Structure 1
């Protein structure tokens, strides 16, 4: 096809700052800046809006406020997307319909079945393990029915190939170095005061909330070990707005806090902030002395790029996808199955912090991972798929 601007619909599963949602909005902004006509679609209950407004068009898909359970929530959101998209497709046409999650994938699969669209693109950031068969089925349908599958890491691309025979293409994540910087701002001190973060004491920051795949409970145990040598240390766990139900794990985490003698009220050493406004996040990174990401499973780990760009050392699990794109001295590595190893990595990151080394790592990674390059890669893959479709008799 020609090099004319593409009309692209990007579907995401939430209005909250999850990694896949951040990727969608950053990609949308970069595609928009490249001249494409982009519309972002996100489900929103009454009164909700996207945590960050992209420069392109946005369609908020009305959804229920309080579904009975996760299955009902997913089912109702799939139906909401189907109905909303059907109305949009009656008045406008898209060259590309691209979803970053299973909710959008199932909605688009249903529209394919009905003949409303010819195909769709799905990005698999990571796959979850569910105890509920219906959720597992929806997850599978969302990538198995896609006409083009993308992944943000080699780990998940190879997993899809070996487990499902799907030939996915790898695409890039990026980091906004204008937004994330080591340069202190007046907002940093104000945020510290508001959240009860002590300045001058080692601050361990974890983003993503309390979740099993984030390994938050084992990080808490590691933090308790760190306090033996750093008694003033503070753990800040931020974020956690998820569509999935993590309540059972959160209860176990709270029980462990009590067992270890921690509370989360100021001036106690553990702070659970919950979701924060988007404008607070750059300051939050700068308040940290180390960012901990001892995850058991990740799609990519955008937090690593953002932390390094903010001048903060990182502890990361020695697993893919981190090992795919990080050099040995970019981070302090940890075995995520061992609280003692995580504590050792935290001590190493704090004791060997080197601003120049972090800056070199951040510069190298930001040169490789940019949202502009990601948009160019996506546009090329979109056009190749369109050309292949048009060439078919």
Structure 2
């Protein structure tokens, strides 16, 4: 089976820790099913150099990315023209599509299936490519906030759902949202939970546990949606009560400067930002801490919570779906969303309890990349058999 994967959500040399789940999923698939051939095309945006002289653009970092990279599979990084600003974001898919067409025309391979990650614009582009190649389309809906899509985004996403042979939701709640808001056929929407590499994310018994503070860890992009302002508010409340707690934050993003200002305003001590960390180094960092916390405002799945639990850490999470459906209640303390005081109370509870690391890790053993890859293969087989019957 020859599989063409289309996604902007793939790590590259400019963003090596971006959406590592996509890379990990297809890498595991390639190793488990070596007779299936995967080719990934991951277009990256650019402005013409004449515009770069007048616009300070975040896309300049992509100039150094090579056009081709070999991993467990070949990855192509063609460029597509991106119009500045959000106004035209829903319509940039055509430039994206033309970039893909040029890349595919240079490949000697024929494809049996197209798999996209993301509905808009990736799924929309994949919809047209699948029609061009006359093969089935599987669209993996990692998109957050589908129920808050703009009118143009909603219209385009509905087209993808209408024409896709299968739509993969990462949680049962997301499946419900896709069916409700995008009018998708329930028989075509299949839940495949995100998974982790359980050989990497595990309890490391040899870690040094000498400590002065109760060590909290948080991992996520530093943006408004991840709610780090709420978490820092909770740490401030605990510091006012002289609790011996430290916080380490892994991640980078647009809110970094404002969060540093908030730390200064609260006069917080024992709060440390490590920046972006490669995925293969995260297990050791998880194992150097006592508990995990993320005061996120929304999630489509919440893979970092699963990584933390697999490393034996109890977690503090907001009481929102799908986290309330996915995380084991025995090892998770839920806090009220948007409430620093509720998160502070949850931290106190998790600090005072005794936890058995191996039992925590066992509670999420089903969320493995091996299981995700097997379920993905079944989806491929299903849509191919449907097309040939």
Q: Is the 8 A contact 1:10 1:24 kept in 2?
A: no
- Give the equivalent residue in structure 1 for 2:193: 172
- Using the TM superposition, give the Cα deviation of residue 156 of structure 1 relative to its aligned residue in structure 2, in angstroms: 0.5
Cα offset for 1:343?
0.9
> How far is 1:170 from its partner?
0.7
2:48: which partner in 1?
none
Return closer, same or farther for 1:123/1:76 CA change in 2, 3 Å cut-off.
Answer: same
Q: Give 1:374's aligned residue.
A: 372
* Alpha-carbon shift at residue 150 of structure 1 (Å): 0.8
Q: Secondary structure of the residue that 1:46 maps to in structure 2?
A: helix
From the superposition, tell whether residues 178 and 100 of structure 1 become closer, same or farther in structure 2 (CA, over 3 Å).
same
- Partner residue, 1:91: 108
C-alpha distance in structure 2 between counterparts of 1:161 and 1:217, whole Å? 33
Aligned in 2, Cα 1:54/1:86: closer, same or farther, shift over 3 Å?
closer
Counterpart position of 2:59: none
The residue number in structure 2 matching 1:273 is 274
Q: CA 1:183–1:134 in structure 2 vs 1: closer, same or farther (change >3 Å)?
A: same
1:318 lines up with 2:319 in the alignment: yes
**Equivalent residues of 1:8, 1:98 under 8 A apart:** yes
How far, CA to CA, are the matches of 1:240 and 1:349 in structure 2? 26
Residues 26-37 of structure 1 mapped to structure 2, 5 A cutoff: 26-35=24-33, 36-37=36-37
SS at match of 2:328: coil
Q: Deviations over 1:71-90 (max 9, x none)?
A: 66786676345423543255
Structure 1 residues 273 and 314: CA distance shift in structure 2, 3 A: same
Q: Per the alignment, do residues 134 and 258 of structure 1 end up closer, same or farther by CA in structure 2, a change over 3 Å counting?
A: farther
3-state SS of paired residue (1:365):
coil
Distance 1:300 1:54, change over 3 A: farther
Query: Structure 2 length normalisation: TM-score?
Result: 0.80
Deviation at 1:169, TM superposition (A): 0.8
Matched residues, number: 359
In 2, Cα distance between equivalents of 1:65 and 1:185:
50
SS in 2 for 1:291: strand
> Compared with structure 1, are the counterparts of its residues 279 and 78 closer, same or farther at alpha carbon in structure 2 (3 Å cutoff)?
farther
Q: Give CA-to-partner distance per residue, 1:116-158, whole Å, 9 cap, x none.
A: 4444211112433778765665555554543321101011101
In the superposition, the TM-score normalised over structure 1's length comes to 0.79
Matches of 1:126 and 1:80, distance apart in 2: 18
CA distance in 2, matches of 1:24, 1:343: 34
Give the distance between the partners of 1:131 and 1:379, measured in 2 at CA. 30
Q: Any unmatched runs of 5+ in structure 1?
A: 1-5, 190-197, 242-246, 263-267
Match of 1:195 in 2: none
Cα distance 1:78–1:290, how it changes in 2: closer, same or farther (>3 A)? farther
Distance 2:351 2:160 in 1: 42
Deviation of 1:298 (Å): 0.9
d(CA) in 1 for partners of 2:150 and 2:28? 37
Task: Please say if 1:7 is aligned against 2:2.
Answer: yes
How do 1:55-204 residues align onto structure 2 when only pairs under 5 Å count?
A: 56-63=72-79, 68-70=84-86, 79-80=95-96, 82-88=98-104, 91-101=108-118, 102-112=120-130, 115-128=132-145, 142-166=160-184, 167=186, 168-183=189-204, 200-204=212-216
The residue that corresponds to 2:41 in the other structure is 41
Across the aligned residues of Structure 1 and Structure 2, the Cα RMSD in angstroms comes to 3.3
Match of 1:228 among 221, 227, 240: 240
Q: Deviation at 1:25? A: 1.8
